[in-house]
Amino acid sequence: MHSATAILLISCPDQRGIVARLSNFVFERGGNIVDSDHHSDLQAGRFLGRIEWEYEGGPAEREQLRLDVAAVAGPMGGQWELHFSDAVPRIALWCSKQEHCLLDLLWRHQAGELGAEIAFILSNHEVLRRHVEPLGLPFHVLPITRENKAEQEARQLDLLRRERVDLVVLAKYMQVLSRDFLQAFPEVINIHHSFLPAFAGAQPYHQALARGVKLIGASAHFVTGDLDAGPIIEQDVIRVSHRDTVEDLVRKGRDMERLVLARAVRLHLHHRVLTYGNKTVVFE
Amino acid sequence: MHSATAILLISCPDQRGIVARLSNFVFERGGNIVDSDHHSDLQAGRFLGRIEWEYEGGPAEREQLRLDVAAVAGPMGGQWELHFSDAVPRIALWCSKQEHCLLDLLWRHQAGELGAEIAFILSNHEVLRRHVEPLGLPFHVLPITRENKAEQEARQLDLLRRERVDLVVLAKYMQVLSRDFLQAFPEVINIHHSFLPAFAGAQPYHQALARGVKLIGASAHFVTGDLDAGPIIEQDVIRVSHRDTVEDLVRKGRDMERLVLARAVRLHLHHRVLTYGNKTVVFE
Amino acid sequence: MHSATAILLISCPDQRGIVARLSNFVFERGGNIVDSDHHSDLQAGRFLGRIEWEYEGGPAEREQLRLDVAAVAGPMGGQWELHFSDAVPRIALWCSKQEHCLLDLLWRHQAGELGAEIAFILSNHEVLRRHVEPLGLPFHVLPITRENKAEQEARQLDLLRRERVDLVVLAKYMQVLSRDFLQAFPEVINIHHSFLPAFAGAQPYHQALARGVKLIGASAHFVTGDLDAGPIIEQDVIRVSHRDTVEDLVRKGRDMERLVLARAVRLHLHHRVLTYGNKTVVFE
Amino acid sequence: MHSATAILLISCPDQRGIVARLSNFVFERGGNIVDSDHHSDLQAGRFLGRIEWEYEGGPAEREQLRLDVAAVAGPMGGQWELHFSDAVPRIALWCSKQEHCLLDLLWRHQAGELGAEIAFILSNHEVLRRHVEPLGLPFHVLPITRENKAEQEARQLDLLRRERVDLVVLAKYMQVLSRDFLQAFPEVINIHHSFLPAFAGAQPYHQALARGVKLIGASAHFVTGDLDAGPIIEQDVIRVSHRDTVEDLVRKGRDMERLVLARAVRLHLHHRVLTYGNKTVVFE
C-alpha cells in the first residue's frame, strides 16, 4: 500500500443496492478502490462491508467526506466507521507482572507492524517499568485494591482522555474493568489464555491440565461487562501432550497469547474488524 | 513392523527401577524391544509406560506370559494391559442417521488402517443399512424410545457378548448410553462435534456460531456416565469465518469429526492410549 | 444461500471505478449482491474480483446477461467468467488404483458438498470398478501404454465432449496428460502428495522421509504442461515424527490428499477460484 | 523437574537387550528414570534412545559416570552423549541486521525458557548493538568481506573456544559459514525462512509469492557444508492469501521464524535432539 487510503466499515440491514451506492460514492469522488469485501448474513438480514480506496484529501476534505458518508450511510440505518490509513491511532498498553505480551507488542511497534502510536503503558505494578523506560515511553503505575478501584479507574479514564487514546490493549492486565469504566471507554481488547468459551475465568492452564485436553489455546476479544464473554477477534491453538506440566502449558501458551493478541490488535488497527451483535466480522 | 509384537501398557505409583524391571523381563525372555516410551508424572507420583517387543509365542506361551507379567507388574501396584499385535480386536460401529463417520471408518477398515475386525454395525435407525450390507457386514437395528431403552440396552449388551466385541465406536450414534450399560461394557469411544469442554451437550455448531468462535473442533473421548466429560483421546480444530453459516460449520466439522474419531480409534486399537484418572496418555 | 445466484469472476488491468461499474451493473438489473470481494494487486497493476448476486432469470435472460457482461467487462481488457449457482457443473473423476480420493469425492458428492454432477469415472485400470458401479455411475477403463497414449487421449477427449464435462478431477490418476490433451481440455485439477514445490515428481513420501522433514503435505493444483508446476489452489500439512515409516507417511498423507483435493474441487465448483498468471486467487 | 537429571542420548545398531542394559545401568547406580523413549528404525536397523534419570552426583562422580557409560555403550558400536540438566550450556547468538529472532531468543533467555547461558552476541553489522548492550551482554562485530572471510572465521573460532561455547545459533546471520569453520565447530543451528526443501537459497518469500503457495513456512536445521541441506530439527507453516504482498509474507514469516528457531534451540538445549544420518530424531 503506497498512498494513503480511506476505509469505510459498515453494518446495516441488508437491502438492494448497497454495494452500488457505496462504490458509486467512492467513484464520484474520484477514488480508486484497492480492496473491498462485502457479505450479507442472510439469516440475520444484515449487510457487512469494508471498502478501502486511495485517498489523499486534507483535513477539511476529510471532515466533508465524513459528512458525505453520513448522508449516504445514515439512511441505510446501520453503524459505520470511517478511517484513514495515515491517521495513526493512539493506543495504551496495560499490563501487570507478566511481560511476554507487552514485550511482543513493543517489538512489533518498533518493527512497524502495528501501525499505531503508543501513548503510554499502564500497570498496577512496578515490575515491568525497566522494560519500558529505556524505550522512552511513559509508564504509569496505578495500583488497584478493592477500596481504591473506582478512584483509580477515574484516573485511568482521565489519562485516556488527556492522551487521546483510541484503544486500550490489555496485555496480561490482571484486573477486571468495571462496567462503568467500559461504558466510558469501550474500546478495549483483552487476551484470555484459553480457547474460549472453554476455561473462562481463573487459571485456565490448570483447568486445561485437569480436563486433559490435547490442544490449548488463546483468545483475543473485545472486553464487555461480562467476564471473558465479549466478541472474539482471533483464536489459535497449540498441541500439548502428557509430558507437559502446568509450567509447559504456561510456556506454550505464552506463544499463543503473544501471536493471537498481536494479530487481533493489528487487524483492529488496520480497521479490519467489525463488531456485530456479540460477534466480530474479520475482513482478511 | 514385520513380525508380531507384544505390547505392555502400565500405570502405577512411581518407584525406582520400573523401567529396568520391565526391560529385564523382556530381555530374559529373549525379546527385542522395538519401541518403548515411559514417563513419570512427578506431580501425581505416577509412572506411565508402554513397551513393545517382537514376540512370536503361541497361545499357551501367551497365557504364561500374562501370568509372568502379573507377577512382575502386580507388586508395582498399578493397572496393566498386555496385548499382541496379531490378535485382531473386534469392534462394533454404532451410528444413527449421519453416515460420514461410519463410511470413513469402513473405508479405513478396508484400507487396513484400523487393524481390527468389524463384528457388526448397529443403529437405532434403518437409513444407513444400504451402505453396510453391500460390504457383507451385519447391520442391526435397535430403535430406542424412552420406554424401551433399558430393554434395548440389554439386547445390545447381549450382542456385544455374543460377538466378543472389544470396543464400541459411537460413529455419530445420537443416543446417550446409561450408566448401567457403561458399567457392563465400559470400552466405548465417542466423537463429539466440538472442542470440548466448550459446547458440550446439544447443537454445538449452533452454539459455536452464536458465540462467534474463530475455530471449531471435534473431540474423541471415552464415554463415561457424565455426558461429554470422559477422558479425551484426540482433538483437532479448523478455522471458520463470518462467511460460514451453520451448514458450513456442519460441513467443515464433518471433516474434523472423521479425522479425529479415526485417529483416536486407531491409536486405541494399536494400544497407544492409557487412561489415567479422567485423562489419557497417548504414546505416539 | 436459498435462491439462485449469478457469480462474476473477473481479472483485468487495475483502473478507477471498476467496483462501481460492476455493482451498478448488478443494481440496474435489480440484483441483490450477497457477497462481493475485490482486490487490487498494486504491484502487478491487476484488479481481481468476485461478485455474487441473487438471480432468477431464465435461459434467455441468462444469455442476454452474458452479452451485457461482455459489454461492460470487455472494455476493461481482462478475463471474466459468468456462472449461475443453479447450473450444476459436470465433472469427471479420473483414478488409477488408489481409491481414497475417489471414494472421498464420491461420498462428498452424495452428501451434497460438491454441487456438481458426476458424468463418469475413468481409470487406466479395472480395480476400482467395484466401488463405482454400485452407485450407478459409468466407469470407463482406458489402459495407457507408451504406444497407445495419443490414441487413448483422443478417446478421452471424445468422452469429455460427448458428456459435456466441465472439469476433470485427477483423483490419483497416475498418468501424465500430454500438452496436446491439455490444450484441448485445460480444466483439470490434480492432487500431488507433497507440499509443492518440495518433492515434485515421483515418490514424494520417500523423498520426504529421506530429507527428514517434520511436516508432510498435499497440494491441489491446476494441471499445465509442466509437471506439478501449475497454479496451486490449496495446500495443507500434517506433522510427522521419527516413528513414522514410509507406510505411515502414506497413511497420514492420504488424509491430507483427500481433504486438500476436496476443498480445491469444491472451491472451484463454487466459482471461488480465479487463475492469474501461474497463481490462483481464492475468494473464501 | 525438581532435582537434577542425567540424560543419555544414544544411536547404535539395533540389537537385543539395549533397553535392559541401559535401564539396568541406571538402576544399579540407584537412579530413578523420569523419562525414557526408545525407538528402533527397523528399516535402517538402528536403535535410537533417550533416557533421563534423577542424578545428584558431583563432578568426580560425573566423570566416573561418563567412563561407565562409555564401557556399556561403547560395545554397542554407536554414538552417545551424556548430559546433566544442571550443567548450563553456553550459547552464542549470531545475527546480522534483522532483530526479530535475536530479540525473541533474548526474551526467552530472560524468561528462563532456554536453559542456557548466553556467552556473547556476534554480528557482521553494528545495528543491533543497541538491543544487546542494555542487557549487559557482550556484542562483537566482525564484518565479513570476500577478502577477510577466512581471517574473520579464525577470529570467530577463537572467540568460541575462549568463551567455551557449546552451540552457535544463527538468528538471521546472513553469511554462509565455510566448510572449514564447520569442521572446526560443527554445533550450529540456523533458521531458514521457508518450508525446506522448498525455496532453499536466497529470497524464499519472493520465490513463494511467485510460485503462489498457500502456506509459507520456516525450518530450523543444523548447518552443514551444503547450504540449507542439513538435518531439519523443526518446521512450521502459516496460511497466506492473495491479499498478502511480499511485505506481508515477510511479516507473517517472522513469526514462524521466531517460533521455529526458539523451539529447535530449546529442544536441542534440553538434549531432545539426536542426529542420525541427515535427519534428526526429536524426543518430545
Nearest to A237 among B210, B237, B243 (CB): B237
Dump the DSSP string for C124-143. SSSTTHHHHGGGT--EEE--
- The DSSP secondary-structure symbol of B75 reads G
Residue A31 forms contact with C (CB below 8 Å): yes
Element (H, E) at C89: none
What pLDDT score does A165 carry?
Answer: 98
In this complex, do C215 and D232 lie within 8 Å of one another by their Cβ atoms? Answer: no
Chain C with chain D: Cβ pairs closer than 8 A: 88
Is A25 found in the same domain as A100?
no
Examine the pLDDT at B6 and tell me if it is beyond 70.
yes
A254 neighbourhood in chain D, CB within 8 Å: 111
Best C240, C241, C251 residue to mutate vs chain B (most B CBs within 10 Å): C251
Instruction: Give the per-residue pLDDT at C2.
Output: 60
Query: ipTM, 2 decimals?
Result: 0.93
- Answer with the one of B63, B84, B105 that is the final residue of a domain: B84
Beta-carbon separation of C234 and D211 below 8 A: no
* Candidate from A214, A236, A281 with C-beta closest to B234: A214
- Whether residue D206 contacts residue D184, with contact meaning beta carbons closer than 8 Å, is answered with no
Mutate to test the interface with D, among B19, B56, B239, B241 (most CBs of D within 10 A): B19
Residue of A nearest to C20 (CA): A23
Query: pLDDT of chain A along its 284 residues, tens only?
Result: 468 999 999 999 999 889 999 999 999 999 999 999 998 988 889 999 999 999 999 999 999 999 999 999 989 998 999 999 999 999 999 999 999 999 999 999 999 999 999 999 999 999 999 999 989 999 999 999 999 999 999 999 999 999 999 999 999 999 999 999 999 999 999 999 999 999 998 899 999 999 999 999 999 999 999 888 999 999 999 999 999 999 999 999 999 999 999 999 999 999 999 998 899 999 98
Distance in angstroms (rounded) separating the CA atoms of residues C56 and C50: 19
Grid cell at residue A61: 476534505
Interval C241-262 mean pLDDT:
95
What does the pLDDT read at residue B201? Answer: 87
Chain B residue numbers with beta carbons less than 8 Å from the beta carbon of D51 are 19
Say which of C113, C134, C255 has its CB closest to residue B134: C134
How many whole angstroms from its chain centre is CA C27? 30
Query: In whole angstroms, how large is the CA radius of gyration of chain B?
Result: 20
| pLDDT recorded at residue C284 | 87
D45 is written with which cell numbers? 536397523
β-strands B90-95, B117-123 pairing: parallel
Chain D within 8 Å of A113 (Cβ-Cβ)? yes
Residue among D35, D100, D111 whose CB faces A111 most closely: D100
Question: Residue C42 — very low, low, confident or very high, per pLDDT cuts 50/70/90?
Answer: confident
Nearest 5°: CA angle at A243, between A241 and A246? Answer: 90
**Cβ pair B80, B9 in contact under 8 A:** yes
Please name the residue of chain D whose CA is at the shortest distance from the CA of residue A256. D259
Pair (D107, D227) in one structural domain: yes
Q: Which residues pair with D81 in a beta bridge?
A: D9
The amino acid present at C125, given as its one-letter code, is H
The single-letter code of the amino acid at D248 is D
Q: Nearest-CA residue of chain C relative to A20? A: C23
Q: What is the CATH number of the domain that holds D29?
A: 3.30.70.260
Residue D44 clears pLDDT 90, i.e. is over it:
no
Closest approach of B236 to chain C, Cα-based (Å): 12
Residues C55 and C94 in one domain: no
Q: What is the pLDDT of residues B147-193, one digit of tens each?
A: 999 999 999 999 999 999 999 999 999 999 999 999 999 999 999 99
Cell of C6: 449469478
- Taking contacts as CB-CB distances below 8 angstroms, the residues of chain B near D2 are 42
| Terminal alpha carbon distance of chain A | 15
Bond before B13 cis per omega within 30 degrees: no
Tell me how far apart the alpha carbons of residues D15 and C58 are, in angstroms, rounded to a whole number: 76
Structure letter (DSSP) for residue A213 = -
D27 and D97 assigned to the same domain: no
C158 pLDDT tier (thresholds 50, 70, 90): very high
- Closest partner residue to D198 among C195, C243, C278, by Cβ? C195
D115 touches C at CB < 8 Å? no
Quickly state the pLDDT bin for D89 (edges 50, 70, 90). Answer: very high
For residue D245, count other CB atoms closer than 10 A to its CB. Answer: 15
Query: Where a domain ends, among C84, C115, C149?
Result: C84
* Exposure string for A165-196, b = 16+ CB within 10 A, e = fewer: bbbbbbbbbebebeeebbeebebbbbbbbbbb
Q: B6 forms bridges with which residues in the sheet?
A: B53, B84
Q: Whole-angstrom Cα distance, residue A36 to residue C40?
A: 9
Domain end marker among A54, A84, A114 = A84
Q: What is the mean pLDDT of chain D?
A: 94
Residue C91 has which C-alpha cell? 465433472
> Closest partner residue to A107 among D35, D103, D111, by Cβ?
D103
Which residue of C191, C195, C243 is the best one to mutate when testing the D interface, meaning the one whose CB has the most D CBs within 10 A?
C195
CB < 8 Å to A33, chain C: 18-20, 38, 40
B-contacting residues in D 246-275 (Cβ below 8 Å): none
Is C44 an interface residue toward D (CB < 8 Å)? no
User: What is residue B28's predicted lDDT score, i.e. its pLDDT?
Assistant: 93
What nine digits make up the cell of A279?
460477534
Contacts with D255 from chain A: Cβ below 8 Å: 259
Contact C282 D212 (CB under 8 A): no
Residues B56 and B167 in one domain: no
Between chains, do B211 and A278 touch, taking CB under 8 Å as contact? Answer: yes
Distance between CA atoms of residues B256 and B239, nearest Å: 11
Closest CA to C168 of C150, C139, C142, C190: C190
Query: How much is the average pLDDT of C28-53?
Result: 92
A158 CA: distance to closest CA in chain B (Å): 33
Residues C10 and C121 in one domain: no
What is the distance in angstroms between the Cα of C213 and the nearest Cα belonging to chain B? 17
D173 inside 8 A of chain C by CB: no
Instruction: Please indicate, yes or no, whether residues C185 and C142 belong to a single structural domain of this protein.
Output: yes
Question: Residue C107 is nearest to which of B103, B241, B284, comparing CB atoms?
Answer: B103
CATH number at residue A100: 3.40.50.170
| Closest residue in chain A to residue B279, using alpha carbons only | A212
Across chain A, the runs of DSSP E, i.e. the strands, are: 5-13, 32-41, 46-54, 79-84, 90-95, 117-123, 139-141, 167-170, 188-192, 215-222, 232-239, 273-276, 279-282
Which 8-state DSSP code applies to residue A76?
Answer: G
Supply the residues of D annotated as catalytic. 228
C15, C23, C37 member nearest A20 (Cβ): C23
Average pLDDT estimate for D53-67? 94
Q: How many CA atoms lie within 13 A of B181 on its CB side?
A: 23
Compute the average pLDDT of residues C141-148: 97
* Maximum Cα interatomic distance, chain D, rounded to a whole number of Å: 62
- Kindly state whether residues D24 and D109 are assigned to the same domain: no
Coil, helix or strand at residue A215: strand
Q: What is the DSSP letter of B172?
A: S
Residue indicated by cell numbers 497463481: C279
d(C-alpha B170, C-alpha B154), whole Å = 17
Contact B256, B236 (CB under 8 A): yes
A63 touches chain D (CB under 8 A): no
> Is the C-alpha dihedral spanning C225, C228, C229, C235 positive or negative?
positive
Q: C58 and C109 share a domain?
A: no
Which of D42, D40, D32 is closest to D10 using CA atoms?
A: D40
Which entry of A35, A158, A226, A228 is annotated as an active-site residue?
A228
Distance, in Å, from the CA atom of D115 to the CA atom of D110, rounded to the nearest integer, reads 10
Place of cell 496428460: C177
- Nearest residue in chain C measured CA to CA from D200: C198
Query: With bands split at pLDDT 50, 70 and 90, how would you rate the model's confidence at B78?
Result: confident
Best of D23, D56, D281, D282 to disrupt the B interface (most B CBs within 10 Å) is D23
* Res B2 pLDDT > 80: no
Q: Contact, A85 vs A116, CB < 8 A?
A: no
Copy the grid coordinates of residue D38. Answer: 526408545
Cβ contact (<8 Å) for B212 and A236?
Answer: no
> What distance in Å separates residue C22's CA from the closest CA in chain B?
21
Contact in structure between D9 and D39 (CB atoms under 8 Å): no
pLDDT at D254 over 70: yes
What distance in Å separates residue C173's CA from the closest CA in chain D? 23
Other beta carbons less than 10 A from residue C106's beta carbon: 21
Longest dimension (CA), chain C: 62
Nearest partner of D72 among D49, D90, D40, judged by Cα: D49
Residue B100, exposed/middle/buried by CB under 10 A (0-12, 13-18, 19+)? buried
pLDDT value of residue A284? 87
The total number of structural domains that make up chain B: 2
Q: Does B32 touch chain D (CB under 8 A)?
A: yes
Cell matching residue D140:
562483537
Mutation pick from C38, C196, C207, C215 vs chain D, by most beta carbons of D within 10 Å, is: C215
Please give the Cα distance from C258 to C263 (Å, whole number).
Answer: 9
> What percent of chain D is predicted at pLDDT more than 70?
99
- At B87 the three-state DSSP class reads coil
Distance CA A82, CA D43 (A): 63
Q: Please indicate if any CB of chain C lies within 8 Å of the CB of A32.
A: yes
Nearest to B206 by CA among B139, B147, B140, B253: B253
3-state SS of A253-279? HHHHHHHHHHHHHHHHHCCCEEEECCE
* Domain boundaries, position D68: 5-84
Residues of B in contact with A250 (CB under 8 A): none
**Are D58 and D120 in a shared domain?**
no
Looking at the fold, whether A95 and A59 belong to one and the same domain comes out as no
pLDDT at C1 (0 to 100): 45
The average pLDDT across C186-203 equals 93
**Partners of residue D18 in chain B, C-beta under 8 Å:** 33
Average pLDDT, chain B: 94
Q: What is the pLDDT of residues B248-267, one digit of tens each?
A: 999 999 999 999 999 999 99
Closest residue on chain B to D20 (Cα): B23
Distance, CA of D244 to chain centre: 31
Instruction: Measure the CA–CA gap between B280 and D48, rounded to whole angstroms.
Output: 25
Can you give the three-state secondary structure of chain D, one letter per residue? CCCCEEEEEEEEECCCCHHHHHHHHHHHCCCEEEEEEEEEECCCCEEEEEEEEECCCCHHHHHHHHHHHHHHHHHHCCEEEEEECCCCCEEEEEECCCCHHHHHHHHHHHCCCCCCEEEEEEECCCCCHHHHHHHCCCEEECCCCCCCHHHHHHHHHHHHHHCCCCEEEECCCCCCCCHHHHHHCCCEEEEECCCCCCCCCCCHHHHHHHHCCCEEEEEEEECCCCCCCCCEEEEEEEECCCCCCHHHHHHHHHHHHHHHHHHHHHHHHCCCEEEECCEEEECC
> Do D149 and D278 belong together in one domain?
yes
- CA dist B254 and B262 (Å) reads 12
Residue D2 has a pLDDT of 61
Instruction: Judge contact between C276 and C233, C-beta under 8 A.
Output: no
- Which residues in A235-248 are b (16+ Cβ under 10 Å) and which e? bbbeebebebeeee
pLDDT tens profile D136-180: 999 999 999 999 999 999 999 999 999 999 999 999 999 999 999
Nearest-by-CA chain A residue for B234: A214
> What's the average model confidence in pLDDT over C80-89?
96
pLDDT of residue B277: 86
**Structural element, H or E, at residue A175:** none
Chain-chain contact of A27 with C17 (C-beta, under 8 angstroms):
yes
Facing C242 at nearest CB: one of D210, D236, D281: D281
